[in-house]
Amino acid sequence: MAFTYSDIAKMIDHSLLNPTLSAADLEAGCRLAVVYDVASVCIMPYALKRCAEMLRGTAVKASTTIGFPHGGHTTAIKRAEAERAIAEGGEELDMVVNISQVLSGNWDYVRSDIKAVVDVAHAAGQKVKVIFENCYLKDEHKIQLCRICSELNADWVKTSTGYGSGGATHDDLKLMRQHAARHVQVKAAGGVRDLDALLAVRDLGVTRCGSTRTREMLDEVNRRLNRPAIAASAVASPAGY
């Protein structure tokens, strides 16, 4: 195999953003993320503090969303969200651009909006993924966003929230990898639902992927690598945190 378990697990941001998830679901998701040792948990903002507590002492980072899911919050609110998230243990922030302002070509506004969140995160030593929501954009918009994110040293450019009319496509991932600076990583979200799909986007240069199917993907990794399966009881147990 051309990958290790860690190679794949550390690509996954375990997504806990569905609004119908209960508090118990969110805590179970955090336990699963620790047992499977993924890159991060991306959780609804209200639950971030508890998530960070549960992940403390592990190699799994706590992350949350800014301006989710439509990006239409004012810049001041996005900045305040970022400050609060950092204070509550957030290590990575997934922010949505102002889609309306992108479509209007108001690039000064878009740049300032992204910069506000990047500045807050970087001042605290944390990272930002900038969500384009590509399903609503033309290629010229995506290319300009890649340029802006490169200038601002955003840490990732990300295809989608997972709640728009479309998710990550290979054409978009190739475009984003081509037009983002090399120091800016690319994250796929929406539509990557099994290991083969994850390996395919990895081949395009993707380093992170948002997923709700973490267990299925990583169980398949263990099967292909002839590693022991992770027991369901390990996920259910609250021991250790």
Other Cβ atoms closer than 10 A to 226: 7
The catalytic residue among 127, 129, 158, 172 is 158
Q: Which of 185, 30, 22, 163 is nearest to 99 (CA)?
A: 163
Separation between Cα atoms, residue 209 and residue 194, nearest integer Å: 11
Separation between Cα atoms, residue 163 and residue 189, nearest integer Å: 10
Residue 158 is a catalytic residue: yes
Residue 113 is a catalytic residue: no
Residue 49 is a catalytic residue: no
The catalytic residue among 61, 78, 94, 172 is 94
The catalytic residue among 61, 129, 142, 187 is 187
Residue 176 tokens read as 């984003």
Residue 199 tokens read as 């390996």
Separation between Cα atoms, residue 165 and residue 144, nearest integer Å: 21
Catalytic residues: 94, 158, 187
